[in-house]
Amino acid sequence: MKFTIQNFLKRFPDDDACLAHLMRVRYGNKPICPKCGKKGKFHKMSKHPAYACAWCGHHIHPCAGTPFHRSRTSLQLWFYALYLFATSRHGVSAKELQRQLGVTYKTAWRMGHQIRKYMAEIDGDDPLSGHVEIDETYVGGKRSDGKRGRGASGKTIVFGALERGGDVLTRVVPNVKRVTLEPIIVEKVEPGSEISSDEHLSYRRLGSRGFKHGVVSHGAGEYVRGAYHTNSIDGFWSQLKRSILSTHIHVSGKHLSKYLGEFEYRFNMRETPELIFHRLLLSF
């Protein structure tokens, strides 16, 4: 069954339904009271977003420790924001959240970044192995100097590594020098892995760092050399830039890492919208 807006509204018609779901997600169907140790009898309090133990009266606040705690935005709107992120292929802009939720732009912007933060945390940052493609890209608007790629001014540099058939990881970096990129590769790619890259000089010592390194010379018009190519990571860059352009129009360098965390999550998880929605709830 598709996770449609009708499904969402039927399951989460109001704040109380959302709170009950959050209680089950965080504490189970029969929670044990942390005060008296008895099991399974908690009742919703009438004037507070909390549950009280039927035995001793101890309160459990399902929203505590989450972005929902003491938020002026209703819990149902928070859930709907999660639904929008889960069902979108290219992310959700702050302006879209503002329109859909009826909140201020400032509130929508803050909610979006909170959700992206948890997406990045769920995704994690495990080392890559097998055959890994590495590359850098430049993210930002057009510049009057007309330069593209390495050497372009006013853009944010992003380094990426993609395990074929596996995950992708990205880093915002200050430059593309060897002293910047090589330590990331050594830390995040398992020794003995195969690495595909272009001819950039910053990668030339990877063979001596415990990797089997193959190079394709893009400058000479070469894009595949046997098993070695960077087509997969190039595809990820294209998807990232299309998503930013179509959804967000512009992302500042200051906040780009948060959006990268979101797009890594979308690429790596490959789950249904409903699973993404519930995984986000479990992360809080």
Q: What is the pLDDT of residue 271?
A: 84
Euclidean distance between CA atoms 275 and 2, whole angstroms:
11
Tokens representing 156 are: 């944010």
What pLDDT was estimated at residue 142? 59
Assign 85 a pLDDT band (cuts: 50, 70, 90). Answer: very high
Report DSSP state, residue 109: H
* pTM: predicted TM-score of the whole model, two decimal places: 0.87
Please report the pLDDT score of residue 152 as a whole number: 59
Domain with CATH 3.30.420.10 in the chain: 131-253
User: For 12-39, how does the pLDDT look when each residue is reduced to its tens digit (9 = 90+)?
Assistant: 999 999 999 999 999 998 899 999 999 8
- Residue 162's pLDDT is what? 98
Which CATH number is correct for 131-253, 3.30.420.10, 1.10.10.10, 3.90.1150.10, 2.130.10.10? 3.30.420.10
Average pLDDT, the chain: 92
pLDDT per residue over 124-178, tens digit each?
889 999 999 999 999 985 555 555 555 556 789 999 999 999 999 999 999 999 9
Q: Is 192 left (phi over 0), alpha (psi -120 to 50) or beta?
A: left
> Which amino acid, one-letter code, is at 154?
G
DSSP annotation of 127:
P
